[in-house]
Structure 1
Amino acid sequence: MDAARQWGRRALDFVDAVERLNVPGVVKLFESEIKACGFHAYIMAGLPAPGTALPELTVANGWPAEWFELYTRENFSALDPVPRFGASTVQPFEWSDARYDKEDDPAAHLVMMRATEFRLRDGYCIPMHYDGGGAVISLATEHLHLDPLAKSALQLIGVYAHNRIRSLSRAPEEKRELLTVREREVLRWVAGGKTSWEISVILKISERTVKFHLVEASRKLNAVNRTSAVAKALARGLIKL
C-alpha cells in the first residue's frame, strides 16, 4: 500500500472507531495515533476568552502536569503565539509558522522558551472554528518531522477526536432539546443523500412538512442551508450517519 492510501486508511479507521468509543477510549486511541507520528504531548482547548480560565476551555489535556499548572498560573494562553495565530487561520500549521518578533513581543518569546523546558520545542496545530468560538488542537514534540500526507491524516483524526469528546461531554438533555425527534430524523435522511420528496415518501409526510423541519433545524443550528445543518448536527453529536 502506498503512503497516501496508508495514511488515508489510518485516518478513516480512526473515524470509524471513535464512533463506538467513550471519552477515555477516544483519548487513548488519539494518543496512540499522535505518538506514532512522534508527538509526546498535546492539548485540545478553546481559544482564549476574556474572563475564562484555561481549565474551563480544555477538552482533553495531554500536557505535562507541571507545564499545564505553570501555563495556567501565569496566564500564558493570553501570550502564547500559537493559539493567537490559530484564531486567525482555518489551516493547520506548524508552531514555527506562528511568527513573532522576540524584541517587540518578549512575552510570546518567554512562553516558547519556557515550553522547551518541558520538551515542547516544536509542534503542529489544528485550529477549529464553530458557532460561539473556536479551539485548537496543539501537538508537541522536540523535533517535528511530518510529511504532508501525515498532516492531512492528523487533521482528520484531530477534528473527529475533538468533536466526539465534545459531543460525549455535552449533557444528554441539551442534545435532546435542541432538535426535535422529527428534525433529527429528517437531517439523518438528508445526510444519507435523500431529497425532500424522497424523505416525505419514507416518513409518510408531505414534502412541505419535510422542508419545514429542515428550515427549523437550520434555524436552531444557525446553519445557512441543509448541508451546513447536517454538518453542524454531526459535529455536535445530534445525529449519526
Structure 2
Amino acid sequence: MNSLTAALEFVESVNNEETPDGISKRIAELGQSFGFTSFCLAAIPEAGASFDGSIMLSGWRAEWQQRYLDRDYVQNDPIVAKARTASRPFLWSSIARDRDLTSDEQQVLSEARNFEMYDGVCVPVRGLHGYQGMLTFGGPEVRLNEREISVLHLVGIYASNKVRELVGSSTTRPRHRLTPRELECLKWAAAGKTSWEISQILNISQHTADWYLASAARKLHASNRTHAVAEGFRFGLIR
C-alpha cells in the first residue's frame, strides 16, 4: 500500500463528510482494509479521571465499551498508559515486551481478547495546549510495515483534528502563510521523504530542509513533522 495514496484517499473521503458519524464510517473502512475489526478515537483523560466523555468516535462492540466504562478499565489499561508518553504509534503486543504488566493490566488485555481484539496498534495524538488523544485499532492479528504504520499515524492526527473541528474544539487556522519552499518541503515529507532525500531533490542542505520543515510546523501550530503534514492536509495545502 502506498502511504501517500492511502493518506490522500482517506483525507479526500473525510473532507466530504460533514458529521462525526461520517468520519467514523471512514475510519472503520480504513481499519478493515488493514485487517482490524474495531477502533476507538478518544481524548486521553487525566490519571484517575473517567473515560466516559473522552470517547469521540467508537468502533468498539457495544458490550465491550459498556464493560470498559462500567469497570473503569481506563485506570489499568496499559495501552492508555503508554499513549500518555509515546510520540509514535506502537503495537499492543509491544507493551508486554517493554515491561512487566500488573495483574489488573493483564486482565484488561485478556478481556479485550474475548472480543476478538488479540492485538492492535495505538496512535498517540498530540495537540496544542497539552491536548492528548489517541486512535487505537484492534483485531485478530497485526501485520504492518513501517509505511502502513506511518499512514495510520497521519490518519489518527487528521481524524482527531477533523472531529474536534466539527464539534468546535479546534478552528485555529494558520496565521502565517507558508512560503513556497516550506510548502514544497512539506509536500515531499507527506510523500514519505526524509530530510536528506528532500535536500537531494531540492538541491539544498539537509539542515536547510530541516529548517523549512520546522518553520512550516510552527506556522501550522504542529507539534512535530507528522502533525504538520496532517495539518497541511486539513487546511488543503497538500492535495
The 1:185/1:124 distance shift into structure 2, 3 A limit, reads closer
Match of 2:130 in 1: 132
Contact 1:40/1:141 (<8 A) preserved: yes
Cα deviation digits, residues 9-29 of structure 1 (max 9, x gap): 121221233223212222211
Q: Say which SS state the counterpart of residue 221 (structure 2) adopts.
A: helix
SS at match of 1:137: strand
Q: Deviations over 1:37-59 (max 9, x none)?
A: 00010111122314632121111
1:34 equivalent to 2:31? Answer: yes
1:148-167 aligned at under 5 Å gives the runs 148-167=146-165
Superposed counterparts of 1:131-210, under 5 Å: 131-170=129-168, 175=171, 186-187=175-176, 189-190=177-178
Q: Which residue of 2 aligns with 1:231?
A: 221
CA positional deviation for 1:191: 7.0
Does the Cα contact within 8 Å between 1:43 and 1:58 map onto a contact in 2? yes
| Secondary structure of the structure 2 residue equivalent to 1:44 | strand
Over the aligned positions, Cα root-mean-square deviation in angstroms equals: 3.0
1:75 aligns with 2:72: yes
Cα contact 1:191–1:230 (8 A) shared by 2: no
Larger CA Rg, structure 1 vs 2: 1
Report the Cα distance in structure 2 between the residues aligned to 1:64 and 1:192, rounded to whole angstroms.
Answer: 46
- CA pair 186-90 structure 1, distance change in 2 beyond 3 A: closer
Q: Counterpart in 2 of 1:110?
A: 107
Number of paired residues? Answer: 197
In 2, Cα distance between the equivalents of 1:144 and 1:185? 37
TM-score between both structures, scaled by the size of structure 2? 0.71
Change (3 A) 1:147 1:227: closer
Alignment partners' CA distance in 2, 1:191 and 1:60: 35
Tell me which amino acid in the other structure corresponds to 2:156.
Answer: G
Runs of 4+ off more than 6 Å: 191-194
Measured against aligned partners, the alpha-carbon deviations of 1:169-205 in whole angstroms (never above 9, x if no partner) come to 126xx84xxx7xxxx5843x347779xxxxxxxxxxx
AA of the residue aligned to 1:9 = T
8 Å Cα contact 1:48-1:78 kept in structure 2: no
Aligned to 1:231, the other structure's residue is in SS state coil
Select between 7-16 and 115-124 the one with higher mean Cα deviation: 7-16
Matches of 1:157 and 1:226, distance apart in 2:
19
Aligned pairs for 1:37-56 (under 5 A) are 37-50=34-47, 52-56=49-53
TM, length-normalised to structure 1:
0.71
Counterparts in 2 of 1:227 and 1:85: CA distance versus 1, 3 Å: closer
Q: Is the 8 A contact 1:95 1:124 kept in 2?
A: yes
Percent identity over the alignment is 24
Moved more, 48-57 or 86-95: 48-57
Instruction: Could you tell me which runs of 5 or more consecutive residues in structure 1 were left unpaired when the two chains were aligned.
Output: 195-223
1:25, 1:147 → 2: CA distance?
28
Question: What runs of 5+ residues in structure 2 fail to find an aligned partner?
Answer: 183-213, 223-227
